[in-house]
Amino acid sequence: MVLLPVFVLVGLTFALLFGMMRTRRGAPASGEPNRAKQLADCYRDQFELPVLFYLLIALALPLRRADLVIVLLAWVFVVTRFAHAGIFVISSDSAPRSTAWLASALVLFAMWLYFALKLLLLI
């Protein structure tokens, strides 16, 4: 079950990629419109913080540490990433986007802390 949130997040990344490509294709040659830049920035952002999420899941699976807590936190992380991406592509207001990003970063930190403690304390 821990792979389902991974697949959903990968789906978001591809959706942003295809949206960016479609928007850029329709952009005038004179310059990139704001919408295309927002999609490009949001797409690029999917290769920053989520990389640590993918790494954690890739480690937790073979080490058999992907329990219910990890699965639930993974879903919370994915929901916060969707919120961040939605705000990113719809609005240029950085305050709610920063809040969504911070929420996802805190959830990911909690996941790593839980994983580390579980691994180091052998629980």
- Helix, coil or strand: residue 31: coil
Domains and CATH numbers, the chain: 3-120 (1.20.120.550)
Per-residue pLDDT tens for 14-45? Answer: 999 998 888 877 666 545 557 788 888 999 99
Per-residue pLDDT tens for 68-119? Answer: 999 999 999 999 999 999 998 888 788 999 999 999 999 999 999 999 999 9
Between CA 74 and CA 50 the distance in angstroms is: 11
Residue 94 is predicted with a pLDDT of 85
Indicate the pTM of the whole model: 0.89
- Are 2 and 74 contacting, i.e. CB atoms less than 8 angstroms apart? yes
Residue 33 is predicted with a pLDDT of 59
Token readout for 77 is: 């992380």
22 CB-near residues (< 8 Å, 6+ apart) = none
